[in-house]
Structure 1
Amino acid sequence: MDSDATALWNTSLHQLSNMSSIFSTTFLRFATTLVVMAFALYYLYKLLFVGKSDKQPGLPPLLVKPWPIVGSLPEMVRNKPVFRWIHKMMKDANTEIACIRFGNVHVIPVTCPEISCEFLKTQDAVFASRPAIMAADITTKGFLTTALSPMGDQWKKMRRVMVNEMLSPIRHRWLQDKRDKEADNLVRYVYNLCVSAGGLVDVRVAAQQYCGNVPRQLLFNRRYFGKGKENGGPGFEEEEHVSAVFTVLAYLYAFCVSDYIPMLRGLDLDGHEKVMKEAMRVIGKYHDPIIDERIQQWKNGKKSDKEDPNDLLDVLISLKDGKGNPILTADEIKAQLAEFMIATVDNPSNAVEWALAEMLNHPETLKKAMDEIDRVVGKERLVEESDFPKLNYVKACAREAFRLHPIAPFNVPHVSLEDTTVAGYFIPKGSHVLLSRSALGRNPKVWKEPLKFKPERHLKEDGVSLTLTEADLRFISFSTGMRGCKGILLGSTMTVMVFARLLQCFSWSIPPGNGPTIDLSEAEDSLFLAKPLVAVAKPRLPAHLYPVHLP
């Protein structure tokens, strides 16, 4: 009996164990089903009742399907110049904001003013940094400057110096006599070409050298690094210096492979690094000896705070902290002055060359601008900066040149500091935002007859602002926002001055043998005129108004 009871007991335990296992399995399946149903009901609720507004927005339209790791870099390398390739793809896709992935970087080109304002106004602080790319690193000696440096303490320090010490309204007035000297020298140079070269003037050379002479005067209190030419034109040193500056500008944001895959820097796969280093070497060859000598003069007492500064170099060297120590190092001064030079030369000179080329093809526009100067200033003195508020048509012509013929295809890139949403699209942290200068200014949704040069579109009842900017980003002359151009007043003043002096002092015509009009074709790899503008200039003022000898 005992053995039978034991067997029965074991059989009962085994059956109970099986029942427990079956129960556990059934319960687990039931619980799993409940969890799955719960998740399904949750997402169904989100889909039906919360709606699309709660979904994660997507990226702007992808223009090219990216490859793993490298993104669309192979296509970028094959399609030069890259800016024309991007603009064509956006036009073909009929979109005003897009996305291209180069390496792991999302590049966001924009051609719409309203969306541009979202980036640089509504969310200005989010997009207030710059990309830490190879060319900017070389140009700024490791990001020691203002315009090209990423957001951070160094940028904030140099921004204070730039705004308070270099480009303040008080400093602008203090430096007026230096700007006046170069305006007089420009007239002298062109006048001498009228006498010695039959009036044939390379307007690009004249405008670029004026725009190089002005910052040389402001920074170093000199016009020439060498002897210059007796007629007021540039010598070899000035030509080499300005050429190096424009080389830097051409390569600064030229879609370099290592900008998107930094580990490739040093291999210089596209040759940009070599070109940038050589151009900065040339600029340093002229700048650095002057800066080093001046710093030494301040150290050994040949210059002191008791004397008035001669130029902006003196101003920067003399800056002291609360303990009497220099605020800026020698490298910071060298980097900032090089950046100042690079930022000053291009925009005004390009606008004036294009404006005069357009106006030679529209003689009625040229006459209207010259008549305004004659009416406001007369023919018994030269245009001065104090005349600018009344030269509304001249300023309108300059604005129209900035709109239709910007110096660069894109604005200096802005980098997003965090994930955000713009125009309903997701913009990831670290994205490079490129506002298209050319497409904004030529947007047919914004401008009537966008490819025609029509200064009248900028005229307003209350006049045309001296600062040649566009608040609503319908075009970009000088950038805006937290990282906008701090030299708007200087750039606008230089633009109006070189333009007004050329129009007041000389009559302009198309050279014989050129044909009835100026060829307004753009260069293939830039937005410059394909051929530099050469025009015939003839003096139109009394001879005694043309400067002959200048200091």
Structure 2
Amino acid sequence: MAQFVNKTPICNLCQQNTNLQSFNTNKLTNSCLMDLSHLLENYTLILETIAISVVIYCLSFLYKTTTTPPEASGAWPIIGHFNVFNGPDLPHVTLASMADRYGPIFNIRLGVRKVLVVSNQEIVKDIFSTHDVSVSDRPNYIAANILGRKGASFSFTPYGPYWRGIRKIISQELLSNSRLDKLKHVQVFELEKSIKNMHELWKEKKDEQGKVLVEMKNWFGELNMNTMLKVVAGKRYTGGDGEDEEEMMRCREVIKEWFKYFGQFLVADALPFLDCFDLGGYKKTIKQVALQLDSMVGKWLEEHHRKRSSGDASEVKDFMDVMIQVVEDDDVAGYNADTIIKATCETLIAGGADTISGMLTWTLSLLLNNRYALRKAQEELDTQVGKERRVNQSDIKILVYLQAIVKETLRLYPATFINAPRAFTKDCTIAGYHVRKGTWLLINTWKLHRDPKIWSDPCEFRPERFLSRNHIGLDVLGSNFELIPFGVGRRHCPGIGLAGQTLHMVLATLLQNFDISTPNCAPVDMSPSAGLTNGKATPLQVLVSPRVHALINL
């Protein structure tokens, strides 16, 4: 019994030990299983993370290749496609070749900046019908910042209240039809004076064949500079005496430099961290041009202020008078009144004189290379206007072939081959592609105007196309996206009315008064020059003689 009783505790103890060992074994086993489970979970998490990352990468790569415009190859390290604007060919030609390879919408890279290049009517329509506000900003590059007076110039100020205010003043006060009508006597006077001077030159220097050699680029340039200076600031480029004559000559040269550098991209525009080095000294030169122009225009503004303070300002004689009356607030968007007036007048003088002179030069060059069109234009003048009186502005509406000549010239040789750059202010979808905020936009007008899907024989000069059923209703106001020589959207050129009036009147008056040809009937060189505006690279020397019925006694 005792033994039995004594055995029980021992057995119980053994059983407890056995249970304990079993418990410890189970505990260990469970612990190992839990650790293994956690390890497997971690591995699974890692694998899932890797898998998700790979999928995201692949999807992002796929998204990028299918929804962003293709980027042109040939980019240089760091600076990208900067060679497009400094290569052997002019930028519009290089970009047109890229469009042939990559399509009508593609990207190039200028250092750290993305630039979207477009050369198709439908895509341009998509942009400016749907996203006009989003592409109404201007990129802030060095030349525009300096020559545009840090945004005071309406052409290159950012899109916003200041731009809208200045644009309203220009459209309603300066370049409105009523204002142009009040100042049209200036254009009439300057044109008649230029025609009379050419007659006098012919009398003095005509050769045995009764012709005189005239350089027409200079002739058009002086005529339009005189007109614009008179309309804007009450000055004349030629015809002054002594100091005034020298000042006007300097003005023309400075404005040439202004346009030359306004359209120039510097290395520091692509790589902003190089700005402080001023590679090539371009920034210093641009600042000197800006100072010279500021000095001249500032002098004219002071003269206007003195006249106004002395009480001799009862009559508004020019745009500068209008601006002084309208811009009274001395702190508009951080600019004082004088800065706004000078910036606006500089842009109007330079823009009006240079672009219109260039377009007239191209028009006459095309006519001299297509003599049938020149003869037809003169025949229309003789029939519709007659030979007994001078052509006037009211005649232009019946000179339909002359209008067609101007349109065809603006198609082939618009004021700018590449529209002034824009900048996207928010992400947009263009032609199915995703375009990021901050991207620059360039419209290759030269390429767009030569689209064979729209224009038959697109490189040929054929004014008759604008008298045909397909194109007779097209205008150059920016509403027809296949013909945009003055730009498109909110920031199209506000001087379309002035340009159209001048182009038609100068051409009609010139052709009514003179027969024009080239020495030895040689073709005219049509090579364009580099710059913001599209100018002819070489002089335009022509032989001029009065027509039999010319109205010499002007």
TM-score bracket, normalised by the shorter chain, equals: 0.7 to 0.9
2:261 matches 1:251: yes
Q: Shift of residue 273 of structure 1? A: 2.4
145-154 or 21-30, which deviates more = 21-30
**Partner amino acid for 2:297?**
H
Q: How far, CA to CA, are the matches of 1:395 and 1:155 in structure 2? A: 32
Kept in 2, the 8 Å contact 1:225–1:286? The answer is: no
Q: How far, CA to CA, are the matches of 2:162 and 2:187 in structure 1? A: 30
Kept in 1, the 8 Å contact 2:524–2:540? The answer is: no
Q: How far, CA to CA, are the matches of 1:85 and 1:405 in structure 2? A: 13
Pick one of 43, 64, 67 that aligns with 2:73: 64
- Which residue pairs with 2:219 in the alignment? 206
Identity %: 26
1:21-60 aligned within 5 A: 21-26=35-40, 57-60=66-69
Q: How far, CA to CA, are the matches of 1:432 and 1:55 in structure 2? A: 18
Pick one of 283, 286, 291 that aligns with 1:281: 291
532-541 or 274-283, which deviates more = 274-283
Q: Secondary structure at the match of 1:438?
A: helix
285-294 or 460-469, which deviates more = 460-469
Q: How far, CA to CA, are the matches of 1:64 and 1:85 in structure 2? A: 16
Q: Secondary structure at the match of 1:472?
A: coil
- CA spacing shift, 1:361–1:472, aligned 2, 3 Å: same
Q: How far, CA to CA, are the matches of 2:164 and 2:473 in structure 1? A: 29
Kept in 2, the 8 Å contact 1:389–1:465? The answer is: no
**Partner amino acid for 1:61?**
P
Q: How far, CA to CA, are the matches of 2:355 and 2:473 in structure 1? A: 18
- Which residue pairs with 1:128 in the alignment? 136
Q: Shift of residue 303 of structure 1? A: 4.2
Q: Secondary structure at the match of 2:193?
A: helix
- CA spacing shift, 1:21–1:266, aligned 2, 3 Å: closer
- CA spacing shift, 1:35–1:200, aligned 2, 3 Å: closer
Pick one of 310, 317, 333 that aligns with 2:317: 310
Q: How far, CA to CA, are the matches of 1:540 and 1:438 in structure 2? A: 35
- Which residue pairs with 1:423 in the alignment? 431
Kept in 2, the 8 Å contact 1:257–1:270? The answer is: no
2:191 matches 1:183: yes
Pick one of 94, 105, 110 that aligns with 1:102: 110
- Which residue pairs with 2:301 in the alignment? 291
Q: How far, CA to CA, are the matches of 1:372 and 1:123 in structure 2? A: 43
Question: How many residues end up aligned between the 2 structures?
Answer: 528
- CA spacing shift, 1:509–1:323, aligned 2, 3 Å: closer
- CA spacing shift, 1:104–1:285, aligned 2, 3 Å: same
433-442 or 277-286, which deviates more = 277-286
- Which residue pairs with 1:219 in the alignment? 232
Q: Secondary structure at the match of 2:105?
A: coil
Q: How far, CA to CA, are the matches of 2:293 and 2:548 in structure 1? A: 38
Stretches of structure 1 lacking an aligned partner (at least 5 in a row): none
- Which residue pairs with 2:369 in the alignment? 361
Q: How far, CA to CA, are the matches of 1:488 and 1:85 in structure 2? A: 26
2:417 matches 1:390: no
Kept in 2, the 8 Å contact 1:467–1:492? The answer is: no
- Per-residue deviation, residues 42-65 of structure 1 (Å, max 9, x unmatched): 99xx99xxxx9x888433222235
Kept in 1, the 8 Å contact 2:415–2:486? The answer is: no
Q: Shift of residue 235 of structure 1? A: 5.0
336-345 or 422-431, which deviates more = 422-431
Pick one of 18, 28, 34 that aligns with 1:14: 28
Kept in 1, the 8 Å contact 2:114–2:439? The answer is: yes
Q: Secondary structure at the match of 1:99?
A: strand
Q: Shift of residue 228 of structure 1? A: 6.3
Pick one of 530, 536, 551 that aligns with 1:529: 536
- Which residue pairs with 2:151 in the alignment? 143
243-252 or 390-399, which deviates more = 243-252
Kept in 2, the 8 Å contact 1:219–1:313? The answer is: yes
- Per-residue deviation, residues 199-256 of structure 1 (Å, max 9, x unmatched): 2211111111122112111111232377169xxxx95543432232232222212232
Q: How far, CA to CA, are the matches of 1:67 and 1:530 in structure 2? A: 29
- CA spacing shift, 1:122–1:194, aligned 2, 3 Å: farther
2:351 matches 1:343: yes
Kept in 1, the 8 Å contact 2:486–2:496? The answer is: yes
Q: Shift of residue 286 of structure 1? A: 2.7
**Partner amino acid for 1:518?**
P
416-425 or 27-36, which deviates more = 27-36
Q: How far, CA to CA, are the matches of 1:133 and 1:455 in structure 2? A: 38
1:313-462 aligned within 5 A: 313-319=320-326, 329-459=337-467
Kept in 1, the 8 Å contact 2:517–2:544? The answer is: yes
- CA spacing shift, 1:518–1:69, aligned 2, 3 Å: closer
Q: CA RMSD in A?
A: 3.5
Q: Shift of residue 490 of structure 1? A: 0.7
Q: Secondary structure at the match of 1:109?
A: strand
Q: How far, CA to CA, are the matches of 1:472 and 1:402 in structure 2? A: 13
1:481-500 aligned within 5 A: 481-500=489-508
Q: TM-score, normalised by structure 2?
A: 0.85
Q: Shift of residue 397 of structure 1? A: 0.8
Kept in 2, the 8 Å contact 1:60–1:99? The answer is: yes
Q: Shift of residue 30 of structure 1? A: 6.1
Q: Shift of residue 10 of structure 1? A: 4.7
Pick one of 179, 194, 204 that aligns with 1:171: 179
**Partner amino acid for 1:529?**
K
- CA spacing shift, 1:236–1:522, aligned 2, 3 Å: farther
2:270 matches 1:260: yes
Pick one of 527, 535, 538 that aligns with 2:545: 538
- Which residue pairs with 2:251 in the alignment? 241
- Per-residue deviation, residues 274-314 of structure 1 (Å, max 9, x unmatched): 3433333343343210102222443x34245xx23111111
Kept in 2, the 8 Å contact 1:377–1:387? The answer is: yes
Kept in 1, the 8 Å contact 2:254–2:293? The answer is: yes
Q: Shift of residue 540 of structure 1? A: 2.3
- Per-residue deviation, residues 122-144 of structure 1 (Å, max 9, x unmatched): 32111111111111112221111
Kept in 2, the 8 Å contact 1:309–1:315? The answer is: yes
- CA spacing shift, 1:225–1:190, aligned 2, 3 Å: closer
Kept in 2, the 8 Å contact 1:510–1:516? The answer is: yes
- Per-residue deviation, residues 382-408 of structure 1 (Å, max 9, x unmatched): 222122111111111111111112343
If each structure's helix is expressed as a fraction of its own residues, which one has the higher value? 2
319-328 or 344-353, which deviates more = 319-328
**Partner amino acid for 2:260?**
A
**Partner amino acid for 2:517?**
S
Q: Secondary structure at the match of 1:344?
A: helix
Q: How far, CA to CA, are the matches of 2:147 and 2:64 in structure 1? A: 43
**Partner amino acid for 1:519?**
V
- CA spacing shift, 1:349–1:228, aligned 2, 3 Å: farther
Q: How far, CA to CA, are the matches of 2:300 and 2:329 in structure 1? A: 27
Q: How far, CA to CA, are the matches of 1:322 and 1:345 in structure 2? A: 29
Q: How far, CA to CA, are the matches of 1:145 and 1:139 in structure 2? A: 8
